[in-house]
Amino acid sequence: MPVVTLSTDIGQSDYVVGAIKGQLIRAMPGICIIDITHQLVSSNYLHAAYVCTNAFTFYPAATYHFVIINLFDKTPEHLLFAQYKNQFIVCPDNGILTMIAGEKPADIISIKIIKQNSLGVLDCTKTFASALNAIENGVALETIGHTVTDIEEKYPFRSTVGPDWIDSQIIFIDQFENVVINLTKKEFEEHRRGRNFRIVLPARNDGGIVKISENYASVEHGERLAWFNSAGYLELAINKGNLAGLFGLKRFSGGTTLNALPGNKLMYERVKIFFE
């Protein structure tokens, strides 16, 4: 029984997500469909990559991950069907594939979207449903499209670093207003080199956060903490509190380059760490 995950920016206030599931079930009865999220932000690939990359890791081999984000940034002519780490990622050719994978997968097939007089989301998703039916009935992947190497590529921002500091972007804020920045434990320790550190929050002139906790219960209610979450990224929080709301923190909103945004806007979308 094939497993398909859905990650989209469509939301769930109308019929579209339900209709996509109907297309998939008609194409392959008995399919297992998993919703990862339908709350991706069409302009925020950094956030989408964080959510998708870390969710996909937990699925078995041969899972199909269908990602729909910013589908109509330009008229879609094809979908990308990429084999990556024994799974499949299906998505528009708009840079999200390399954002999720962190590289360009070696095996990518382009599947043509049949043009209609009016082209909507369901016309595009029908293309994936048809391809899935063919593949699960023994048709070779290469015969339903053609191999491509020239795709649109985008890659996640890395933290900016100096000899005694790191400047990171906020990539995710959860429903409890805990904040995740684009800094892994490995990167943190490489730059730390055993030194003391201070994690400084905007508009807060104090000693900052100076230790890494094991979990939320490691500090008293109302206290700030930093810990490395299950995805391996540095997460900042207040035990039983709302860190993002208290400090006015926002998810990094993107841009062509990090320096393309006004400095005052960036201030509340990033976190600085100093080493001493």
Q: Could you state, in order of their start, the residue ranges of all structural domains in the chain?
A: 3-147, 160-275
Residues of the chain with pLDDT > 70: what percent? 93
Pairing of strands 87-92, 32-37: unpaired
3-147: which CATH number, 3.40.50.10790, 3.40.50.300, 3.40.50.2300, 3.40.50.720?
Answer: 3.40.50.10790
Residue partners of 57: CB distance under 8 A and separation at least 6: none
> CA nearest 66: which of 119, 117, 29, 121?
121
Rounded to a whole number of angstroms, the distance between the first and last alpha carbons of the chain is 54
Kindly state the tokens that stand for 244: 């993002």
DSSP, res 143: G
Domain formed by 160-275, architecture:
Beta Barrel (2.40)
pTM metric for this prediction: 0.88
d(CA 64, CA 207): 47
The predicted model gives 90-96 an average pLDDT of 97
What pLDDT score was predicted for residue 205? Answer: 67
187-244: pLDDT as tens digits: 999 999 999 999 998 766 678 999 999 999 999 999 999 999 999 999 999 999 999 9
26-55 residue pLDDT tens: 999 999 999 999 999 998 999 999 999 999
> In 202-248, at which residue ranges do the beta strands (DSSP E only) sit?
224-228, 233-238
Sheet of strand 146-147, all strands in order from the earlier edge strand to the far edge: 32-37, 3-8, 64-68, 87-92, 78-84, 107-112, 146-147
